[in-house]
């Protein structure tokens, strides 16, 4: 296919006319398809129905140490669950707290407590003039939503295939005591699907922040969410690396079973240093007597051990891998060589990151919506929903049935081509300043 960047005005006009006809055909189909969130599909949820049978009314609900899971107590979670989740997170069970059903809730609580009571004896953030936060972009909109809700000033940091720009991060945290944290999705990142390089993880572990209460919010949401058995990303374990670097307290590591079992009924966990654990427990004991131990036990009985969880995740991959490959195939078939778009090809996680020409993302999403396909709003992958390039769109392939996904992907490529061609035509005299997107 000919590059749109080299087309004449007449060629662009011809292309636009043809694409409008194709777009009208999709509109006549009266589609109602949702690709806006990274949700498991019904087939994936069905994989965990055995959870409902793992405990029955006749089951022994006592742990191996004799704890009755029906009763109060065990603030940090039952030992069996800490072992299972510890294996999943690659951490010692002694360094783990088991929470309720949402790791996002745990992150929110950590920030909230930092505002009201401070971190390990440091000044509560509510008493400070300014609190700032580093945000790798594009990134996870719900992370940004938390820091925006608390009025924290968010500072974008560019991402690459190696992870966030560490030169920028090292400089900023060393110079500014108001910077209290950074959001990280280190493995199969949301939305690009990148995994941090060994050097990036080691540099994180060796940060020298001006703020004593600076913390890395290490959201390892996709630690075992591989698409391929024979081609998986590897990530250095951050807590061990921090300890090795003599910087053990700098990180909070989060995970959950939300996209492993039931997103609304899983278990979440935090792994961190003994000093951080003591600080957190001193606050947590005033919030709860203990989280849902019956659900913790149910997960242990269902999986038995990490090997059961790994086999379970292979079933997930078998369902969603064809969806990712279908999107990539349709994108390549319809957009490759046009110089108007690029996209990532992750080995795991839940998203594909798409970049179009600057100034086109919002209109692409709007056109798709008008034809019956709901996408994540343009700008969501940036703090304050403000993508300065208006180019990035998060693609979430997991939820729709495969054939619906194919239809939605084809419509999306028509929208991309139509909006891009019109954009180039409208800015034809300035075309020298328009360049092809680069991932």
Digitized pLDDT (tens) for each residue of the chain, 439 residues in all: 899 999 999 999 999 999 999 999 999 999 999 999 999 999 999 999 999 999 999 999 999 999 999 999 999 999 999 999 999 999 999 999 999 999 999 999 999 999 999 999 999 999 999 999 999 999 999 999 999 999 999 999 999 999 999 999 999 999 999 999 999 999 999 999 999 999 999 999 999 999 999 999 999 999 999 999 999 999 999 999 999 999 999 999 999 999 999 998 999 999 999 999 999 999 999 999 999 999 999 999 999 999 999 999 999 999 999 999 999 999 999 999 999 999 999 999 999 999 999 999 999 999 999 999 999 999 999 999 999 999 999 999 999 999 999 999 999 999 999 999 999 999 988 776 788 898 7
Same domain, 194 and 318: no
At 1 the pLDDT is: 81
Whether 157 and 382 have beta carbons less than 8 Å apart is answered as no
Same domain, 195 and 320: no
Q: Is residue 438 part of a domain?
A: no
Nearest to 284 by CA among 126, 75, 122: 75
- Structure tokens that stand for 397 in this block: 């392939």
Whether 257 and 47 have beta carbons less than 8 Å apart is answered as no
Q: Is residue 295 part of a domain?
A: yes
3-state secondary structure of 146: helix
Same domain, 93 and 17: no
Q: Is residue 54 part of a domain?
A: no
How far the first Cα of the chain sits from its last, in Å, is 20
Same domain, 94 and 124: yes
Helices (H), 336-439: 361-370, 402-426
Query: What is the CB-side half-sphere exposure of residue 399 using CA atoms within 13 A?
Result: 17
CA distance 22 to 371: 11
Output the domain CATH number for residue 373: 3.90.1150.10
Same domain, 65 and 34: no
Burial of 392 (0-12, 13-18, 19+ CB in 10 A): buried
CA 364 to chain centre: 22
Same domain, 124 and 232: yes
Same domain, 291 and 180: yes
> DSSP of 170-195, one letter per residue?
HHHHHH-TTEEEEEE--SS-TTT---
Whether 181 and 214 have beta carbons less than 8 Å apart is answered as yes
CA distance 422 to 419: 5
DSSP state, 93?
G
At 236 the pLDDT is: 97
Give the number of domains in the chain: 2
Q: Phi/psi of residue 370, each to 5°?
A: -65, -20
pTM: 0.97
At 435 the pLDDT is: 84
Q: Is residue 116 part of a domain?
A: yes
Q: Is residue 14 part of a domain?
A: yes
Choosing from 304, 330, 345, the residue where a domain stops is 304
> E strands, 291-428, where?
341-343, 352-356, 373-375, 392-395
Q: Is residue 49 part of a domain?
A: no
At 431 the pLDDT is: 73
- Structure tokens that stand for 302 in this block: 């269902």
CA 105 to chain centre: 15
Same domain, 102 and 167: yes
Same domain, 138 and 279: yes
Q: Is residue 55 part of a domain?
A: no
Nearest to 347 by CA among 185, 225, 190: 225
CA distance 386 to 340: 21
Q: Phi/psi of residue 324, each to 5°?
A: -60, -45
Nearest to 174 by CA among 148, 217, 208, 123: 208
Nearest to 81 by CA among 92, 69, 93: 93
Same domain, 100 and 215: yes
Q: In terms of residue numbers, what domain contains 296?
A: 61-304
CA distance 85 to 67: 19
Same domain, 269 and 382: no
Same domain, 92 and 239: yes
Choosing from 276, 304, 332, the residue where a domain stops is 304
Query: What is the CB-side half-sphere exposure of residue 395 using CA atoms within 13 A?
Result: 31
Choosing from 304, 331, 353, the residue where a domain stops is 304
Output the domain CATH number for residue 93: 3.40.640.10
Q: Is residue 396 part of a domain?
A: yes
């Amino acid at each position: 296919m000919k590059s749109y960047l080299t087309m004449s005005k007449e060629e662009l006009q011809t292309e636009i006319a043809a694409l409008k006809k194709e777009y009208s055909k999709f509109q006549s189909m009266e589609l109602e398809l949702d690709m806006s969130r990274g949700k498991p599909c019904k087939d994936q949820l069905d994989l965990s129905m055995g959870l409902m049978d793992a405990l029955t009314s006749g089951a022994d609900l006592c742990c191996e140490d004799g704890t009755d899971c029906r009763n109060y107590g065990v603030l940090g979670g039952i030992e069996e669950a800490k072992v299972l989740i510890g294996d999943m997170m690659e951490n010692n069970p002694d360094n783990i707290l088991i929470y309720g059903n949402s790791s996002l809730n745990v992150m929110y609580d950590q920030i909230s407590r930092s505002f009201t009571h401070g971190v390990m004896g440091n000044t509560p953030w509510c008493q400070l003039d300014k609190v700032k936060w580093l945000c790798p972009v594009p990134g996870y909109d719900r992370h940004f939503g938390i820091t925006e809700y608390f009025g924290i000033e968010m500072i974008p940091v560019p991402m690459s295939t190696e992870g966030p720009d560490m030169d920028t991060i090292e400089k900023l945290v060393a110079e500014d005591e108001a910077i209290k944290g950074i959001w990280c999705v280190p493995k199969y990142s949301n939305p690009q699907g990148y995994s941090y390089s060994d050097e990036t993880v080691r540099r994180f572990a060796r940060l020298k922040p001006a703020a004593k209460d600076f913390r890395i919010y290490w959201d390892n949401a996709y630690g075992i969410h591989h698409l391929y058995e024979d081609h998986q990303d590897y990530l250095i374990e951050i807590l061990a690396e921090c300890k090795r670097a003599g910087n053990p307290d700098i990180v909070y590591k989060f995970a959950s079973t939300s996209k492993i079992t039931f997103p609304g009924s899983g278990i979440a966990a935090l792994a961190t240093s003994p000093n951080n654990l003591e600080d957190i427990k001193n606050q947590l004991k005033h919030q709860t007597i203990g989280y849902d131990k019956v659900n913790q036990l149910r997960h242990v009985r269902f999986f038995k051990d990490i090997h059961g969880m790994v086999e379970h995740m292979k079933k997930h991959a078998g369902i969603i891998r064809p969806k990712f490959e279908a999107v990539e195939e349709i994108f390549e078939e319809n957009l490759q060589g046009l110089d108007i778009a690029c996209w990532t090809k992750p080995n795991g996680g839940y998203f594909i990151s798409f970049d179009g020409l600057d100034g086109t993302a919002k209109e692409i999403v709007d056109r798709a919506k008008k034809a019956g396909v709901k996408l994540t709003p343009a700008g969501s992958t940036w703090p304050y929903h403000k993508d300065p390039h208006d180019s990035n769109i998060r693609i979430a392939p997991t939820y729709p049935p495969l054939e619906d996904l194919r239809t939605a992907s084809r419509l999306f490529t028509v929208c991309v081509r139509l909006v891009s061609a019109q954009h180039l035509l409208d800015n034809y005299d300035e075309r020298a300043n328009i360049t092809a997107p680069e991932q």
